[in-house]
Structure 1
Amino acid sequence: MDLGIEGRVALVTGGSAGLGLASARSLAREGCAVCVSARSPERLADAVVELQEFGGTVHAVLADVEDPEAAARVVAETREVLGPVDILVANAGGPPRGDFLEADPDEWETAVNRNLLGTVRLIRAVLPDMRSRGWGRIVTITSRSAREALDGLALSNATRPAVAGVVRTLAREVGRDGVLVNNVLPGPILTDRLRETTPTREGLAERAGRVPVGRLGRPEEVGDVVAFLASERASFMTGVSVLVDGGESRVIA
């Protein structure tokens, strides 16, 4: 299927590893010019080499979305090097695990700044160009915790639904401008983060056993959903939160 986004400019934050890199791969495979941003210069360099194998233009910007000035700088540099951003994939790493009383005030502030405000700043930075050209795609990557409270994830349970609320609100405000805004909710995907929180083979097997399809997800399975939502093929989808969790969620709507 031709997704119709060849030549589009995509910006992927947290794009040097995990779900961000998987999304950048899927977009690069579709012929997008891709800018990836992240905090690690070494990982960014590796990501650029990998993405260049798809034959398109790739750029990288070292940035931390917790920095209030980072969003505007990353978007401005992308525009200067590749052109105005057509597709924004706002991907921020999940907050630390822990119950409500285990998180101290600094951790709450960091979670809100990284997972909510960082996303808001990025969207505000790309929207003017998208609206002026009458075309844009914004895809946020959050978590199942945007839809249901998960034990031991108090910070995520608070900040991820907030991003989903931004997506639903914004979709109604900018749809007539040709800008579509959607949210992807990954479940148990075999990334470095899952390996860190579940370090044993037995633990991963047990985790996979709780998924209805009987296995853990692959990062590219999330990346391909992101690319679809960013495409012309999804031109009548906006304001939705799409679960990519192997059927694990029990929420009906």
Structure 2
Amino acid sequence: MDTKNTTRVALITGGSAGLGLALTRALAAEGWRVITDGRSEEKFKEADLPDGVTTIVGDLTDADHREGLRVEVERAGRLDLLVHNASTLGPLLMKELEEVDIADLTQVWRTNIGSPLVLTSTLLPWLREADGVLLSISSDAAVNHYETWGLYGASKAALDHVTLTYGAETGLTAYAVDPGDMRTAMHQDAFPGEDISDRPLPETVVPHLLALIEQRPETGRYRAADLRGDV
């Protein structure tokens, strides 16, 4: 590992749109080197990301893609922040639990919990070396119970548990953060045909995440709305 590199490095999964994109832009603007991924090369082209951002197109559930992320972190020489942001709602239209089958469960579990778990393990040496932060984007569906949100909510509850257990086992600072409702494509997918323009943009959540990263309170689960929005 190149411990002489003093530029902070972040890896953010799902950085081609929504909260991942907003956080990627904000960290790059603050001088971080950001590595991010997404499944759509076209979305990255539309995003017009600033210098200091490395994009890798692929699916997080693919082992070769995760290896590509590891190689990029190795090339950067350090990892100060790992953000698990990429996720899926599962099959659309969203289903009540009695309609869920094993294929649905596998799809959601591989993306929302399996891939973050094994990616974290892969990148632990760099996180430990930098005394880095592990941050997983959660949901209020992880603790509340909404019709048709059961499969997604269960995966987020599992992600919370895995994230905070990594903190307990490794001593790393680990956070699971509920960002609240946002005006994103994923949220629109959950409410097809409905007007979600009253939801705040993901950019409004970013200052709260930046405050969390800089202030580094104790490991735990947080709501973005309860965090200071300034640093």
Q: TM-score, normalised by structure 2?
A: 0.85
Deviation at 1:139, TM superposition (A): 0.7
Return the match for 1:90 from 79, 84, 90. Answer: 84
Q: Quote the Cα distance in structure 2 between the aligned partners of 1:190 and 1:130.
A: 31
**Alignment partner of 1:106 out of 103, 106, 117:** 103
Give the structure 1 partner of residue 3 of structure 2. Answer: none
Would the alpha carbon gap of residues 136 and 118 (structure 1) be closer, same or farther in structure 2, given more than 3 Å must change? Answer: same
CA gap 1:151/1:245 in 2 versus in 1, 3 angstroms: farther
1:125 and 2:122 equivalent? yes
Give the Cα–Cα distance (whole angstroms) in 2 for the partners of residues 221 and 94 of structure 1: 22
Q: What per-residue deviation string (whole Å, max 9, x for no partner) do you get for residues 71-114 of structure 1?
A: 2321212332x332221111122323221022221111011110
Q: Distance in 1 between matches of 2:101 and 2:83?
A: 29
Q: Please name the residue that 1:24 is paired with.
A: 24
Deviations 1:19-41 (A, max 9, x none): 11111122112211111101101
Give me the whole-angstrom Cα distance separating, in 1, the residues matched to 2:54 and 2:122.
18
Among all aligned residue pairs of Structure 1 and Structure 2, give the percentage whose two residues are the same amino acid: 28
Structure 2 counterpart of 1:86, one-letter code: D
- Tell me which stretches of 4 or more aligned residues in structure 1 moved more than 3 Å: 196-201
Size of the aligned set, in residue pairs, is: 218
Deviation of residue 142 (structure 1)?
Answer: 2.1
Q: 1:57 to 1:13 in 2, by over 3 A?
A: same
Task: For 1:93-172, list aligned pairs within 5 A.
Answer: 93-96=87-90, 97-131=94-128, 133-172=129-168
Partner amino acid, structure 1, of 2:58: A
Contact kept in structure 2, 1:11 and 1:34, CA below 8 Å = yes
Distance 1:196 1:27, change over 3 A: same
**Whole-Å separation in 2 of the counterparts to 1:237 and 1:222:** 20
The CA distance in 2 between the partners of 1:121 and 1:42, in whole Å, is: 27
RMSD, aligned α-carbons: 2.1
CA distance in structure 1 between the partners assigned to 2:72 and 2:218 by the alignment:
29
Matched, 1:65 2:60: yes
In the other structure, the counterpart of 1:218 is 201
Cα separation, 2, equivalents of 1:72 and 1:226:
27
Q: Where does 1:200-219 land on structure 2 (aligned, <5 Å)?
A: 200=193, 203-204=195-196, 208=198, 216-219=199-202
Please state how far the C-alpha of 1:184 moved relative to its aligned partner.
1.3
**Which residue identity does 1:188 align to in structure 2?**
D
The gaps in structure 2 that reach 5 residues or longer are 1-5, 227-231
Q: Distance in 2 between matches of 1:200 and 1:157?
A: 22
Report the secondary structure of 1:98's partner residue: coil
Amino acid at match of 2:106: E
- Give the drift of 1:194: 2.1
Change beyond 3 A, Cα 1:71–1:225: farther
Amino acid at match of 2:164: R
Aligned equivalent of 2:218, options 237, 243, 247:
237
